[in-house]
Structure 1
Amino acid sequence: MPKTPFESLTDYIALPRVEGLALSPDGARVVLTVATLKSDETAYERALWEVRADGSGVPRRLTRSAKGESGAAFLSNGDAVFVSARPGSDDDDEAAQLWLLPASGGEARPVTRLTGGVSGIAATATASERVILAADLLPSAESIEEDARLRAERKKHKVAAILHDSYPVRYWDHDLGPAAPHLFSLDLGGLEDTVIRELPSASDDGDAAKPYPADLPRPRDLTPRPGRSADAAGVAVTPDGGTVVAAMQVPEGLDLRYRLVSIDVSSGAHTVLFDEPGVDLEWPAIDHAGTRIAFLRTAKSTPAGPTAQELWIAGIDGSGAHRIATDWDRWPAEFAFDADDAALVAVADSDGRAPIFRIPLDGGAVVQLTHDDFAYANLRVDAVAGALFALRSSWVTPPHPVRITADGPVALATPAPLPAVPGTITEVETTVHDGARVRGWLLLPASASADAPAPLLLWIHGGPLNSWNAWSWRWNPNLAVAQGYAVLLPDPGLSTGYGLDFIARGWNAWGAEPFTDLMAITDATEARPDIDETKTAAMGGSFGGYMANWVAGHTDRFRAIVTHASLWALDQFAGTTDLTGYWKSIFTPQAMIDNDPHRFVRDIRSPLLVIHGDHDYRVPIGESLRLWSELTEHFAEPDGTIVHRFLYFPDENHWVLKPQHAVVWYQTVFGFLGEHVHGTTWVRPDALG
């Protein structure tokens, strides 16, 4: 079989990656955000590329800058907007701003100059040139000029302290504060194409005291003194740009919830549309006529069981609210109004895929529109021709743009050619003790056969409310296939895409059905003649790391186990993770004890490779520190050495994202597996000294 990029980690990290998709108002152009490896191979830089929506032509690069571009969107006149820390300064303090690239051609230009920068584009109007921006201001700032002054004072005196008066205080991989999130309205309709000066650095002496530039449109704060409320779970704007509907945050003890708020852009007045204690109301979408909203309603789960994610429709003023698709047992990951406003189109996990569905508003049956083995994301609706656009991927195909019509999906041109993969993919399944069907994907190296069976790597997904259905650049099984492993990607109990009852099988009992499901589908896979059941290993990250720890304490069938960013001691985890309230809501006190992996440390027989990043706030580093200390306590040799290993990244988060760190991660994992599965000599990666 010809060599693929997956045989070499250097070749793999150099593959270009399509990360986002935007559709022009006339449905003729698609803009892709594409990440490529920088020349020094230490990070990725992002640029915007344009492809024709009808599938013709070749990709055309639109942007080039040292800082890169992200968050592309279109204005109603066809101009593109994006977020970038341009100009091409090497100053790490340069704040990202909103930039505009005219449809008529020419260079991009900055259209904001906020000292703290722009966090992202929350929404754009389809019949006006209004943009809704997300940006942060310091809590006591009454204006963007006052924010600039306060930031300059903190910088001058080197103050980094943050005073909190609400929970949470950090999120995933970053501290929250001292600035608070705001939503701003920015009208670009009157923007003149005049000669303007280049953006000065916000660190220039005296710059913070200057008024906001008169030659730029002034952003209008729609959420003065918001606290954390404007850290929204979805923002939509009416076509004329006159009304914003946002899912705004409400603190609820250790937890939080979201309510739907309507904001009149001209007056700034807020009207609460829907607010229910114990219920999340999220991801508003507005129809093309600007008269109705769709949103997701989800009652908070409790240890008694998970709850359904419900699609609701209401008038733009909140009137006539009612649920649709009441019999549809799937969780929509994203949705929008179809071109005729008579239905929603949605993406949802389903049976190991993530197809597109059409959901009529009149109560008609939900119709699945795509029937392939792919997962769809970044769904966009062409309001002119009625076509749909999305990024499509599977475990053997990275994300690439497609156009979907009644005739099916058609691949568009892409600046990131699809690489060959080192093996094949097939579906496997089994029936478990309670009659449930448990399925997964099995990736096989080309060399696997009854005469040369492949060693098996059980790879457990995170979440746990997740499904192995879409390509991941971070967790890529093709790299293991290139090493000769067959890789099993199962969806055990708690996985999405199989209905609420399937999720409930593992609720409040992570060590029960999720574990027995994993062992059952591993048994079924090992029964294949092309699998060597004597050479098996297991690995997982996050919830998958929890399961790897649980597996380690409950079976000795695996020759090696890799546990990344894993939950180890649930009692300490619940109080140190960034979302304590959620974790306390899914376990009873007794279940938290019964399902705690660290109680079974003395039963571990397989060698463990423990991996963690210090900037992981979802699963704090204390989990792996305690795991490592307890492994050392119970398994150290007289000279202090142990068979287990601990790979630590002081400056990485939950995923380990820096390219060279990803290389070290895979080198260490494959070296560890090779040592214990194949008996090869352990070789320390050069980068580890």
Structure 2
Amino acid sequence: MANAPSTFHQRLVEQPRPTGLALAPDGTRLVASVQSLDEEGSRYVSELWEVDPAGRRDPRLVTGSCQGDRAPAFTVDGTLLFLSERGPQEPPGAALWALTANGEAERIAHHPGGTTAFTAASRSATIAWTAALLPGAVDADTHAALLHERDRQGVTAVLYEATPTRADGADLGPAEPHAFVLRGDAPPIDAGGQGLAGAGDMALSPDGSVVAYTRAPTSAAPDTNVVVIADASTGAKRRTFSRPGHQYYGPVFTADGTRLLCERQKEETYDTEWQVTLVALDPVSGEETDLLPDFDNWPWPGRVIPSPVPGDTTLWFTGDERGHCPVFRRDPDGTVTRLTASGAYTSLCVTPDGAALYALRSALDSPPRAVRLDAGKPDQHPVFLKTLGDLGPLPGTLTEVHATGDDGFALRAWLVLPEGAGPDDPSPLLVNVHGGPQGSWSDWPGQWNPWPFAARGYAVLLPDPALSSGYGQRMQERGRGQYGGRPYHDVIALTDAALARPDLDASRTALAGWSFGGYLAGRAATRTDRFRALVSHAGLWNLEAFQSETDMHTYFREIFGDPRTRRERYEADSPHFNAAKLTTPMLIVHGGNDYRVPVSQSMALHHDLQRQGVPAKFLYFPDEGHGIEAPNHLRLVYETALNFLDHHVLGAEWKQPGLL
């Protein structure tokens, strides 16, 4: 099969990316946030685009929107709100803006240092947002003065008295998020602090009288957060909800304001598996009701969307299911119905009468597009709306591979076949393992997309091993406590099943992975020599060092145990103990600002490869985090990985990527 250099990865990087939808209260306007390259092509910037709800007109830029506008939402009267750094801000940071139908922008709220998230009440003019206050600041003015004084004296230091100190790729503190509420012409009310890691998770009751937000876990209870329900006029707390060992996410009030709906998650521990459900909290009685006691698809549901009709307890949500992420409907009697036959759905919006849904739909063979769904029809195919981001024909086809685990569990994976693959010219195979480990190959990947590799002539296997989401609680049970055990064996079983096909070449294979997938690449490096090349992007290597360095150290220590007293899992699953067995050429990719899997993990792996004399390359991005964000850096990841695989799997001459 010809393997001429492909530029598909360049098209992929340049592709506009729809990231969210907002539907006007009367259902007549549908606005999408879309990320595109800036004029220099060096970063992604967001703009707001009108999508025709009927699907007849092409999308058009919202009148008055400019680069940097994001996070659209509508007020009760149909005014479009969004976050943006547009205009002079002192100190700099995102402000909350409103955009009239004729394109005139008005700044609604500006908090020194910026606003991170906001929400609008569905039946009143109340707006709430999340912004930070420094210790000692009682309002935005004193916060601004403290910011100015720190800046004037060149102080960036933070005094931590407890963990966490980092989260989601950012240093925490010294300021802490607070929920602010604006009702009419009154000054904004500080409804309370949310803790260092609690920014943005909040909701307003439909009438705007009550605000709910989550407060971050503390050092005393690192696996438990708190839902606070407060008076929106005074900030006085009315009730709090918490459950030991659980965390709540994505709060939203029902249309009549009598219940607060949330995702409730029990994270994995040494002795228990992940468990996720949706719950209804009663702000008056304090009662908590599990809405999905018998639902066994995940973990990991998407944000719940309640019916907009007061008194109707119907709700919609998404959740992984066997390589898809369908939309589900829960009826008032508890019946759950899957509404979509295929694909992965996000950003659900419901029409005012509850009869239709809008969403972004993607799949492994389809970039995100806006769609319309019937709100009650089972296993339907959506109506596609005209959306930015179409890539045209893909360089291959998508099918499935099935296998059986060593415990008899039914396994499955996606398989991308390049154009021309067949028994007369079998394709080399790249096994691409997802991160997580709770996750699934179901939607259009933003990084490690399989199609650039298919364009170069590789088949790409996308396995969902043990601990993947969408296969029921049993998938969590069978992988608990053995990161490098059953998940690794599942990947190998699916690889063997794929290579039984006559159109794949078992003598030319490679394995790559990001995050947990990168860890499994390191695991493979010490367990087998069947692959000609391996790629580890932000992978774990030394589990004992990792659990003390990661921003989620308390969480991972719960899984692995305290290494001083419970060493079994470290010694069984940490690849670095078997570094002497390294023989396979390896490409390592890592960002210097990665706090989830610190770059020291890849540095240690690189040192061990060099010590063993194994051919290795280390693609290092000093200013990237756990994922690669800058478009030119994404290009380099694809180009470097493709050239590395061509060299070691196909025997081609190594080609140094440009600018490296």
Which TM-score bucket, shorter chain as reference?
over 0.9
Taking a change above 3 Å as real, the CA distance of residues 628 and 662 of structure 1, as seen in their structure-2 partners, is same
For 1:227 and 1:238, locate their aligned partners in 2 and report how far apart those are by CA, in whole Å.
22
Hey, what does 2:106 align to over in structure 1?
A: 109
Question: Could you say what secondary structure the match of 1:599 adopts?
Answer: helix
For 2:22 and 2:5, locate their aligned partners in 1 and report how far apart those are by CA, in whole Å.
28
- CA distances 1:435-460 after superposition (whole Å, capped 9, x unpaired): 10110100011110111111000000
Hey, what does 1:221 align to over in structure 2?
A: 190
1:675 aligns with 2:647: yes
How far is the alpha carbon of 1:349 from its aligned partner? 0.2
Hey, what does 2:92 align to over in structure 1?
A: 94
Hey, what does 1:159 align to over in structure 2?
A: 155
> TM-score of the superposition, structure 1-length normalised?
0.90
Aligned equivalent of 1:130, options 113, 120, 126: 126
State the AA in 1 paired with 2:652.
T
Question: 8 Å contact 1:6–1:478 — kept in the other structure?
Answer: no
For 2:267 and 2:644, locate their aligned partners in 1 and report how far apart those are by CA, in whole Å.
41
Number of equivalences: 646
Aligned equivalent of 1:621, options 589, 599, 610: 599
- CA distances 1:242-297 after superposition (whole Å, capped 9, x unpaired): 10122222314472421221110112111333222222233222111111222233
Hey, what does 2:588 align to over in structure 1?
A: 610
Hey, what does 2:508 align to over in structure 1?
A: 535
For 2:454 and 2:46, locate their aligned partners in 1 and report how far apart those are by CA, in whole Å.
29
Question: Could you say what secondary structure the match of 2:315 adopts?
Answer: strand
Question: Could you say what secondary structure the match of 1:41 adopts?
Answer: coil
How far is the alpha carbon of 1:47 from its aligned partner? 0.6
For 2:63 and 2:167, locate their aligned partners in 1 and report how far apart those are by CA, in whole Å.
31
Aligned equivalent of 2:628, options 644, 656, 666: 656
Aligned counterparts, 1:424-439, within 5 A? 424-439=397-412
Aligned equivalent of 2:203, options 223, 227, 236: 236
Question: Could you say what secondary structure the match of 2:102 adopts?
Answer: coil
Hey, what does 2:341 align to over in structure 1?
A: 371
Question: Could you say what secondary structure the match of 2:228 adopts?
Answer: strand
Question: Could you say what secondary structure the match of 1:251 adopts?
Answer: coil
> TM-score of the superposition, structure 2-length normalised?
0.94
1:246 aligns with 2:210: no
Hey, what does 2:371 align to over in structure 1?
A: 402
Question: Could you say what secondary structure the match of 1:257 adopts?
Answer: coil
For 2:11 and 2:277, locate their aligned partners in 1 and report how far apart those are by CA, in whole Å.
43
Question: 8 Å contact 1:438–1:521 — kept in the other structure?
Answer: yes
Taking a change above 3 Å as real, the CA distance of residues 435 and 256 of structure 1, as seen in their structure-2 partners, is closer
Question: 8 Å contact 2:19–2:34 — kept in the other structure?
Answer: yes
For 1:317 and 1:684, locate their aligned partners in 2 and report how far apart those are by CA, in whole Å.
65
Hey, what does 2:303 align to over in structure 1?
A: 334
Question: Could you say what secondary structure the match of 1:438 adopts?
Answer: strand
Aligned equivalent of 2:254, options 287, 303, 320: 287
For 2:90 and 2:44, locate their aligned partners in 1 and report how far apart those are by CA, in whole Å.
15
Hey, what does 2:58 align to over in structure 1?
A: 58
Question: 8 Å contact 1:336–1:345 — kept in the other structure?
Answer: yes
Aligned counterparts, 1:580-591, within 5 A? 580-588=553-561, 589=566, 590-591=568-569
Question: 8 Å contact 1:273–1:317 — kept in the other structure?
Answer: no
Hey, what does 1:202 align to over in structure 2?
A: none
Question: 8 Å contact 1:26–1:384 — kept in the other structure?
Answer: no
Question: 8 Å contact 1:254–1:580 — kept in the other structure?
Answer: no
Question: Could you say what secondary structure the match of 1:506 adopts?
Answer: coil
For 1:428 and 1:182, locate their aligned partners in 2 and report how far apart those are by CA, in whole Å.
48
Aligned counterparts, 1:29-68, within 5 A? 29-62=29-62, 67-68=67-68
How far is the alpha carbon of 1:329 from its aligned partner? 0.5
Question: Could you say what secondary structure the match of 1:585 adopts?
Answer: helix
For 1:78 and 1:370, locate their aligned partners in 2 and report how far apart those are by CA, in whole Å.
29
Question: 8 Å contact 1:324–1:361 — kept in the other structure?
Answer: no
Question: 8 Å contact 2:224–2:242 — kept in the other structure?
Answer: no
- CA distances 1:593-618 after superposition (whole Å, capped 9, x unpaired): 21101111111221011111100000
How far is the alpha carbon of 1:385 from its aligned partner? 4.6
Aligned counterparts, 1:494-643, within 5 A? 494-588=467-561, 589=566, 590-635=568-613, 642-643=614-615
How far is the alpha carbon of 1:308 from its aligned partner? 2.1
Taking a change above 3 Å as real, the CA distance of residues 442 and 576 of structure 1, as seen in their structure-2 partners, is same
Question: Could you say what secondary structure the match of 1:250 adopts?
Answer: coil
For 2:195 and 2:412, locate their aligned partners in 1 and report how far apart those are by CA, in whole Å.
44
Aligned counterparts, 1:336-351, within 5 A? 336-340=305-309, 341-351=312-322
Question: 8 Å contact 2:239–2:283 — kept in the other structure?
Answer: no
Hey, what does 1:686 align to over in structure 2?
A: 658
1:268 aligns with 2:230: no
Aligned counterparts, 1:127-206, within 5 A? 127-187=123-183, 189=184
State the AA in 2 paired with 1:263.
A
Question: Could you say what secondary structure the match of 2:137 adopts?
Answer: coil
Taking a change above 3 Å as real, the CA distance of residues 151 and 5 of structure 1, as seen in their structure-2 partners, is farther
Aligned equivalent of 1:381, options 350, 353, 372: 350
Q: Quick check: 497-506 or 111-120, which moved more? A: 111-120
Q: Quick check: 20-29 or 108-117, which moved more? A: 108-117
Question: 8 Å contact 1:567–1:573 — kept in the other structure?
Answer: yes
RMSD, matched Cα: 2.2
1:469 aligns with 2:442: yes
For 1:603 and 1:306, locate their aligned partners in 2 and report how far apart those are by CA, in whole Å.
32
For 2:212 and 2:535, locate their aligned partners in 1 and report how far apart those are by CA, in whole Å.
44
Question: 8 Å contact 1:51–1:60 — kept in the other structure?
Answer: yes
Question: Could you say what secondary structure the match of 1:36 adopts?
Answer: strand
Hey, what does 1:211 align to over in structure 2?
A: none
For 1:21 and 1:601, locate their aligned partners in 2 and report how far apart those are by CA, in whole Å.
47
Question: Could you say what secondary structure the match of 1:34 adopts?
Answer: strand
Q: Quick check: 666-675 or 57-66, which moved more? A: 57-66
- CA distances 1:483-520 after superposition (whole Å, capped 9, x unpaired): 10000001000100000111121111011111111111
How far is the alpha carbon of 1:5 from its aligned partner? 13
For 1:51 and 1:74, locate their aligned partners in 2 and report how far apart those are by CA, in whole Å.
15
Taking a change above 3 Å as real, the CA distance of residues 254 and 534 of structure 1, as seen in their structure-2 partners, is farther
Taking a change above 3 Å as real, the CA distance of residues 684 and 55 of structure 1, as seen in their structure-2 partners, is same
Question: 8 Å contact 1:45–1:66 — kept in the other structure?
Answer: no
For 1:643 and 1:17, locate their aligned partners in 2 and report how far apart those are by CA, in whole Å.
36
Question: 8 Å contact 2:440–2:464 — kept in the other structure?
Answer: yes
For 2:640 and 2:198, locate their aligned partners in 1 and report how far apart those are by CA, in whole Å.
41
Question: 8 Å contact 1:51–1:412 — kept in the other structure?
Answer: yes
- CA distances 1:508-552 after superposition (whole Å, capped 9, x unpaired): 101111111111110010010111111000000100000000011
Hey, what does 1:644 align to over in structure 2?
A: 616
For 1:315 and 1:361, locate their aligned partners in 2 and report how far apart those are by CA, in whole Å.
16
Hey, what does 1:194 align to over in structure 2?
A: none
For 1:686 and 1:313, locate their aligned partners in 2 and report how far apart those are by CA, in whole Å.
54
Question: Could you say what secondary structure the match of 2:355 adopts?
Answer: coil
- CA distances 1:336-384 after superposition (whole Å, capped 9, x unpaired): 2134533221100001100011123433x31111112x00011122232
Question: 8 Å contact 2:609–2:615 — kept in the other structure?
Answer: no
| Structure 2, unaligned runs of 5 or more | none
How far is the alpha carbon of 1:672 from its aligned partner? 0.7
Hey, what does 1:193 align to over in structure 2?
A: none
Question: 8 Å contact 1:4–1:421 — kept in the other structure?
Answer: no
Q: Quick check: 30-39 or 555-564, which moved more? A: 30-39
For 1:356 and 1:559, locate their aligned partners in 2 and report how far apart those are by CA, in whole Å.
40
Hey, what does 1:490 align to over in structure 2?
A: 463
